[in-house]
Structure 1
Amino acid sequence: MDWEELHLVQHLVRHGSLSAAARAMGTTQPTLSRRLEAFEQKTRKTLFERQPGGLVPTAVCLSNLSALEHMEANALAVERRLAVQDDALEGTITVTSLDWIGDYLLAPILTKFAAMHPGVSIHLLNDGRRFNLSRRDADIALRFGSFDQNDIVERKVADVAYGLFATEAYLDRFGHPDVAGEGRNQTIVELVEVPVRVSLSTWLKDLLPEARVLLRTNSIRSQLSAVETGQALATLPHFIAAGRNGLVALNLGVAAPVLPLKLGVHPELRELPRVRKLMDFAVSQFAPLRVSLNPSG
């Protein structure tokens, strides 16, 4: 039995549909469909029920998942141990983070590192999903808060301060927001509540519960563009918003959120020379940025 066939089953269980699994695996839905049908014919077992909403694992499939997880863990352990025995400063490093962290902070750092080390190729994935570092979905991750995998080594690289921002045009039209008035007659742009950002949206809702929400978005860049129209307020990182012409940081007498930015890596991959070198370089590059990221720190 081919390990890739078994691995396909894991991907389908994790992603719940052929289309989602195909995107994650970098292939097409028809290809995965053919592979699944061939594997079910080979084993003479129905592993998934095809339903309009996706694939539902059968009892036969579920009964074997634990064994498949053990097989995958062992295969990945071998892969990581082989990787760390390669002491050459070359190869691919996959780094994942949130949109604006990747765009404004990581992209320049990673570009400098790659220019210094011609044998290294870096893939930057700006994505709110939590990639599994144990499965090598990514080699290094930067995210807010703690990592939810027990086998990950994490290191705080900065505290990122946020604040409430508006344009002068907005303030001339709507006036300075009044906490006592709970934001009546104010309009805001709200960041979609995902786990890593729940403190931001909760803070703004608690601060101005009566404000009208003009736009909900999962992107800091979209928030920034919306605020620059002069039609709304938003909670934005000081590092980005304070440097934009026309934006004003509003002091409402309430402490704004400060989120810890952490770098995470699997302990075995940390010993891989190119990964260790990049981590050390990234930490050194964040050091002079700390005041900009948290002006009050």
Structure 2
Amino acid sequence: MRIALAVARQGSLSAAARALGTTQPTVGRRLEAFERRIGVKLFERDARGLTPTPLCAGLLEGLERMDEGALTVERRIAARDTGLQGSITVTSLDWFGDFVLAPILTRFGARHPLVTLTLINDDRRFNLSRREADLAFRPGSFDEEGLIERKVAEVSYGLYASPAYLERFGPPDFASGCAGQPIVALQERSPRSPLVRWLRGLAPEARGVLHTNSIWSQLAAAESGEVMAALPRVLGDRRPTLRRIDTLKAGLVLPIKLGVHADMRETPRVRAFIDFAVSELKLRAVELKPD
């Protein structure tokens, strides 16, 4: 039934396999075995993928309730009072996880050797309700039910270029919207994201040479001397190969929020890590948001 629900949600065997952490042949075999067992087809196959039959569609509400009930049980078992031992999975953006969280996780792990820590850096929004991760650090708000969020840091952004770029192209002309000047941009999922809107407001006429979903790619592109890039100041200010450009406007400041499911918040190892991470981020506050 869990596999049938995953196929209905995802629309294909391959997508369901990825969501379940297994393989497409395994999902296909188990779905066929289940259909033989109950004596009815649950999906119709067409060019778009797998579509639930009327019977399957009528079962989905009950399957969703069963799934949520099972997940609640799993979270409460995972949250049992086992002291400072067990596993914690943390997810974040690439640069923030690499540059900010990895040292914090390492220091916490050194103090609590019975806690197994996993850091996953990915722009995908992991589902904390389904325990794809225990904690998430990301800009913006969380929209999952049952989650608790809190702001733990603020990150300042600036516009950067190399000395070679500035010598070749000259300082950006913000009055003309940086017309024709080459730039690298972050490939955001939403064009309404604050970083996308800020950069478009600064340089609406700039020529996009590259779009990438990685801040590290943007930084490397800027260091090549061919483009400008919007970067977190905690990264850009410390690169001797880059110069921060005076944009004549207020810089961008994005809040970083921590999200955790309410069922997991008071688990001793999770609570201890949250308190430790918040304390460490306070010590880095000036570095993340310089005056």
TM surpasses 0.5: yes
Cα distance, 1:268 vs structure 2: 1.6
Q: How many angstroms apart in 2 are the aligned matches of 1:120 and 1:85?
A: 14
| Equivalent position of 1:237 in the other structure | 232
Q: How many angstroms apart in 1 are the aligned matches of 2:288 and 2:176?
A: 30
One of 209, 216, 225 as aligned partner of 1:221: 216
One of 80, 87, 99 as aligned partner of 2:82: 87
Cα distance, 1:53 vs structure 2: 4.3
| Equivalent position of 1:12 in the other structure | 7
| Equivalent position of 1:3 in the other structure | none
Q: Secondary structure at the match of 2:251?
A: coil
| Equivalent position of 1:174 in the other structure | 169
One of 38, 44, 48 as aligned partner of 1:43: 38
1:144/1:196 contact within 8 Å kept = no
Task: Name the stretch that deviates more: 215-224 or 197-206.
Answer: 197-206
1:166/1:248 contact within 8 Å kept = yes
Q: How many angstroms apart in 2 are the aligned matches of 1:94 and 1:261?
A: 18
Cα shift readout 1:87-125 (whole Å, capped 9, x = no counterpart): 322111111111111111111111221121111111211
Cα distance, 1:275 vs structure 2: 0.8
| Equivalent position of 1:25 in the other structure | 20
Cα distance, 1:196 vs structure 2: 9.5
Task: Name the stretch that deviates more: 45-54 or 96-105.
Answer: 45-54
Q: Secondary structure at the match of 1:56?
A: strand
Cα distance, 1:140 vs structure 2: 0.6
Q: Are positions 1:158 and 2:153 aligned together?
A: yes
Cα shift readout 1:242-279 (whole Å, capped 9, x = no counterpart): 11112111111112221110001111201111111111
Task: Name the stretch that deviates more: 82-91 or 198-207.
Answer: 82-91
Q: How many angstroms apart in 1 are the aligned matches of 2:238 and 2:48?
A: 45
Q: Secondary structure at the match of 1:164?
A: strand
Q: How many angstroms apart in 2 are the aligned matches of 1:46 and 1:262?
A: 44
Q: Secondary structure at the match of 2:284?
A: helix
The verdict on how the C-alpha distance between 1:52 and 1:99 changes in structure 2, with shifts beyond 3 A counting, is farther
Task: Name the stretch that deviates more: 167-176 or 130-139.
Answer: 130-139
| Equivalent position of 1:294 in the other structure | 289
CA RMSD, 1 decimal: 1.7
Q: Which residue identity does 1:248 align to in structure 2?
A: R
Gaps of 5+ in 1: 1-5
Q: Secondary structure at the match of 1:159?
A: strand
Map 1:201-212; keep pairs closer than 5 Å: 201-212=196-207
1:131/1:138 contact within 8 Å kept = yes
Map 1:242-261; keep pairs closer than 5 Å: 242-261=237-256
Q: How many angstroms apart in 2 are the aligned matches of 1:26 and 1:282?
A: 29
Q: How many angstroms apart in 2 are the aligned matches of 1:53 and 1:115?
A: 50
Gaps of 5+ in 2: none
